[in-house]
Amino acid sequence: MGTIYEGKRVLEISDEKGMYCGKLLTMVGMEVIKIEPEEGDPQRLWGPFAGHVEDKERGCFWIYYNTGKKSVTLDIYSEKGKEIVKKLASEADVLIETLKPGKMAELGLGYDDIKAINPKIVYCSITAFGQDGPYAQWNASSDIIPYAIAGNMNECGRPGFGYAPLNIGRNFTYNAAGLYSAVAILAFVRQAVNTGEGGYLDTAAIETAALWRNEDMANGQRFPYKPDRKKVGSAPPFPPGGMYKCKDGSVFIVGMSQWRSLSEWMKEVGMDIGEFDDEKYKIANNDNPDVCSHSDELNALVAALCQNYTKDELYKEGLRWHIPIVPMNSPEDVYNDEHFNERGFFVRVNHPIAGETNYPGAPAKLTATPLTVDQAAPLLGSANEEVLGTL
C-alpha cells in the first residue's frame, strides 16, 4: 500500500553535498532525477573504484550515494538547458540544489522563479554556510571547512596540544546535511500535498554540524573555555573506560561507573586488584572522586584484563557482566557481522558495470512501508530519453 511520497518527482542538481539527501528520498519511493553535466558528475571519478578500474560507473562513492536515481545529462548553463530545467521544475515536487548561493537565481532557476510557475515546489538548497550571513560566499572545497567551524573537530583527536584536531572525513558532514534536509523535505512535501503550497529550505552544513552539541559548547557558555582534546571517539564519559588492546584487535568499553562488575570479573579470573577491591571505588557515581583520581591505575587493570581475550570473547563477557563492551570493527568485520546479516541489513544490488554485491541497506526498519535500497546507481545519461523525450 502506498504513501503520499510514492512517485513524487525530485530534481537533483547536486554535488556531494546533496547526494545522500537524494538517495534518502529514493528510499521512500520518490523518483529522483539527477541532472549531471554531459561528461557526468565529477564525483563519479572519485576512487576507490569497484574492481580497481577507473571508470565513471565504478566509483564506490558515487555508485553508493546515488542508488535508485535516474541520470539525465544536461548543460544547465546553456539557454536550452535552463529552459529544460525550468520545464522539468514546473512539474516537479522537490528540487535539491547545491550551487553557491545566488547562482541558481542568476540562471533564472531560483526559488522565486520556480515558485512562480509551480507553487507546490519544495526547493532545498544545501550549502556549506547557508544562503545568507557573512560567510555565505566563502569557499568550501570539502566538508572539513564547515566541520572545523562548527566546534566538534576541535575536541576530536589525541590529548595534547601538539596533536592536530581530527576531521570525521569521508563526506560525513555533508551526508548529515543531506539527512537533516531530507527530514524537512518530507514534511514540506506533505504540506504541499495538503495545501498546494511548498516552501524553501536553506540547509547550512555548518549548522547541522553545530547541532552535535558537546560538553565544551555547554561550558563555553559560562566562561572562556579552551579544552584539551580528548581522543573522544574512544573517550569514556567516566573512568575506567576507553579503547583497550586485546588478542585480535581492540575493544571499546563505555565508562559508566562499573568498577563493581569489572572488579568482580577480575577476581573471578584470579587477578590481584589490591587496594582497588575497596568498596569506595565501587560506588556507582559517575563523578566518584576515588575513581576519577585513580583512573590511570584502574585503566591499567582493565587493559591487563582485556589482553587475555579476543574481541568476541570480550563482547560476550560484557553481556555476562552487564558492561558495555564492543569490538572495534573494520568495514570487513561489519560486512560479515552475523547480527547485521541476520537482520537483512545488506541488500543485493546488481550494477550493470560495477557488478553485483551486498550494499548497506535501509537505515531504519519500517514494518509496513520499508525504506527501499535495491536499485543500482544509474549509468550516465541512462534516463535521457525517458525524461527528456516526453518534453
Partner 1 sequence: MTNTKRPLEDILIIDNSWIVAGPHGVRLLSDLGAKVIHVESSKKKDMVRFDHIRLGVKDPKKEGGWVFQDNNRNAMGLQLNMKSAKGREIYYKLVQAADVVVSNITPRAVKSMGIDFETLSQYNPKIISVNASGMGDYGCKKDTMVFAPALNCLTGCTYTVGYEGEEGVGISVSTADDVGGAMLAFSVLQAIAQRDATGKGQFIDLSEAENMLSFIGSTILEWAYNKEQTGPIGNHAYYGPLCPHNAYSGAGRDNWMVIAIGSDEEWQRFVAEVGDEAPALKDEKFVSYEGRKANEKELDDIIAGIAVKHNNRVFAERLQNAGVSAAPVNPASETLADEHLNARGFWNLVGLPETDPRQPDFLISADVPKSMPRNEKTFKPGPAMGQDNEWILKELLHLTGEEIEEAKNDDAFI
Residues 52-81 that bind partner 1 (CB under 8 A): 52, 60-61, 63-65
Cell of 313: 570473547
Closer to partner 1 by CB, 250 or 382: give it: 250
For the bound state, the minimum distance from the C-beta of residue 272 to partner 1, rounded and expressed in Å, comes to 27
Residues in the chain: 391
Site for partner 1 contains 334 (CB under 8 A)? yes
Binding range to partner 1, per CB under 8 A, among 84-92, 136-144, 263-271, 382-390? 136-144
- Compare residues 257 and 387 and give the one whose CB is closer to partner 1: 257
Q: Find the part of the chain contacting partner 1 (CB under 8 A) among 77-85, 96-104, 158-166, 269-277.
A: 158-166
Pick the closer one to partner 1 by CB: 81 or 198. 198
State which of positions 20-49 bind partner 1 (CB under 8 A): 20, 24, 28, 43, 46, 48
252, 243 Cβ separation under 8 angstroms: yes
Mapped onto helix, strand or coil, the DSSP state of residue 263 is helix
Regarding 284 and contact with partner 1 (CB under 8 A), the answer is no
From the list 164, 283, 284, 300, which residue makes contact with partner 1 (rule: CB under 8 A)? 164
Number of Cβ within a 10 Å radius of residue 237: 11
Binding of partner 1 by 224 (CB under 8 A): yes
Query: According to CB under 8 A, which one of 211, 284, 292, 300 is a site residue for partner 1?
Result: 211
- Binding mask 301-320 toward partner 1 (x if CB under 8 A, else -) reads --------------x--xx-
Binding flag, residue 369, partner 1 (CB under 8 A): yes
Kindly state the cell numbers that stand for 247: 588478542
Phi then psi for 295, rounded to 5 degrees?
Answer: -60, -35
Cα 384-386-387 angle, rounded to 5 deg? 70
Residue 14 is a binding residue for partner 1 (CB under 8 A) = no
Residue the block writes with cell 546515488: 66
CA distance 26 to 10: 9
* CB distance 228 to 159 below 8 Å: yes
Q: How far apart are CA 343 and CA 362, in angstroms?
A: 11
- Which residues make Cβ contacts (< 8 Å) with residue 118, sequence separation at least 6? 89, 90, 91, 92, 198
Q: In terms of CB distance, is 238 or 277 closer to partner 1?
A: 238
